[in-house]
Structure 1
Amino acid sequence: MNDRNHRIDHLVTSGTFSLDGGTWDVDNNVWIVGDELEAIVIDAAHDAPAIEAALEGRTLRAIVCTHAHNDHIDAAPALAAATGAPILLHPDDLPLWNQTHPERAPDGELADGQTLTVGGVTLTVLHTPGHAPGAVCLYAPELSTVFTGDTLFQGGPGATGRSFSHFPTIIASIRDRLLTLPPETVVRTGHGDATTIGDESPHLDEWAASN
């Protein structure tokens, strides 16, 4: 790791989530990880100009999609066009991506175990299906942080009541891929407040029994 100042920047953007014929107003967390020179964006939601402004002139190395529900990817093509950064998505979520952006494919694929390095920070891709088939989390051990998208929230797993989702699968993903991380790991979510692995792990059995 280099001696640059690592940064996690956070902004909340607002828009709508649409799936299975319904539309809901939502607020999304957008995470920017890197240092004072370069960054990646995790989930380009709703407002490409606001996200670009939050970069503060840094080089954007990639736009990483934790999954392809429209509220997490709707601003990705515009941000890519403005910055030249590639859009990265797990290929299992291409059917969802194509519902929102049929005319514009992602630029690269995410795979379980893949590492992304930006500003001296390494993020490991964890494939965590359940909320969506290609859902991923990004674990940055140097920052004691995992970016979970909509897989794990403060208080439980992401929703699984709509198309392309599966409750037993998300429980298995959380149990096997996330709750095995150190308990002090900060969970930075796709919506709402952050939590920690240690705060969430005692509740796995009650979540599993709740469906």
Structure 2
Amino acid sequence: MAAARIERLVTSGTFSLDGGTWEVDNNVWIVGDDREAVVVDAAHDADAIVRALGGRVLRAIVCTHAHNDHIDAAPDLAARTGAPILLHPDDLPLWKQTHPDRMPDGELADGQTLTVAGARLTVLHTPGHAPGAVCLYAPDLTALFSGDTLFAGGPGATGRSYSHFPTIIDSIREKLLTLPDDTVVHTGHGEATVVGAEAPHLQTWIDRGF
């Protein structure tokens, strides 16, 4: 049994793309135990994330995608902790819009496994919201960290650059809705849901072009 636990930190800032800027609240997920952790999406506030870590060794900063609101604090957090920043390479064009002079330290790939505090986190490449969007599936914790791919009530937005609605639907159908129904979906914004609550609505999303 994994000793890891899941902690949620909400940070606030802005999301900017295609010439627009919006105020947003982001979920920062910390997965680990009393000694070590990984951070999923270093959003907005490196100070708050460091405080939440409380001196634990940070093993990795995992980026579910490279929209600025999910990565803006990543370089600062990396500099302060020594942890590597990991991103799927298909999102490098987006990454460079925010951090043109600081590349990620490593790549994420579909099927890759990260381990922290005895818990396995499997990378699922789920393009659509962004080309390099990933989710992290932690079966030991009955958890999915979905970034902006899946929310309570529907898929992530696909109305801006680098996004594609049919692709996100395929990603959700093939990679996420096949997980056990009781898998808790820890989202990039807002409240959690479970896979079983979202699966029955797939056709509705398609019909509506959600």
TM-score class, shorter: over 0.9
Query: Which residue does 2:111 correspond to in 1?
Result: 113
**How far, CA to CA, are the matches of 1:53 and 1:82 in structure 2?**
12
Query: Which residue does 1:187 correspond to in 2?
Result: 185
Taking only aligned residues, the RMSD between alpha carbons, in angstroms, comes to 0.7
**How far, CA to CA, are the matches of 2:157 and 2:139 in structure 1?**
26
The answer as to whether partners of 1:65 and 1:88 remain within 8 angstroms in 2 is yes
The secondary structure found in structure 2 opposite 1:81 is helix
User: Unaligned regions of 5+ residues in structure 1, if any?
Assistant: none
Query: Which residue does 2:85 correspond to in 1?
Result: 87
Structure 1 segment 24-63 matched on structure 2, within 5 A: 24-63=22-61
The answer as to whether partners of 2:4 and 2:116 remain within 8 angstroms in 1 is no
* TM-score, normalised via structure 2 length: 0.99
The secondary structure found in structure 2 opposite 1:123 is strand
Structure 1 residue 76 displacement after superposition: 0.1
Structure 1 residue 7 displacement after superposition: 1.4
1:163 aligns with 2:161: yes
**How far, CA to CA, are the matches of 1:140 and 1:119 in structure 2?**
12
The secondary structure found in structure 1 opposite 2:159 is coil
* TM-score, normalised via structure 1 length: 0.98
Q: Which runs of 4+ in 1 moved over 4 A?
A: none
User: Unaligned regions of 5+ residues in structure 2, if any?
Assistant: none
Structure 1 residue 35 displacement after superposition: 0.9
The answer as to whether partners of 1:7 and 1:36 remain within 8 angstroms in 2 is no
How big is each residue's C-alpha offset from its partner over 1:121-153, in whole Å with a ceiling of 9 and x where there is no partner? Answer: 100000000000000000000000000000000
Query: Which residue does 2:99 correspond to in 1?
Result: 101
The secondary structure found in structure 2 opposite 1:209 is helix
The letter for the 1-side match of 2:25 is D
1:127 aligns with 2:115: no
Question: How many residues matched?
Answer: 209
1:6 aligns with 2:15: no
**How far, CA to CA, are the matches of 2:181 and 2:100 in structure 1?**
40
The letter for the 2-side match of 1:23 is T
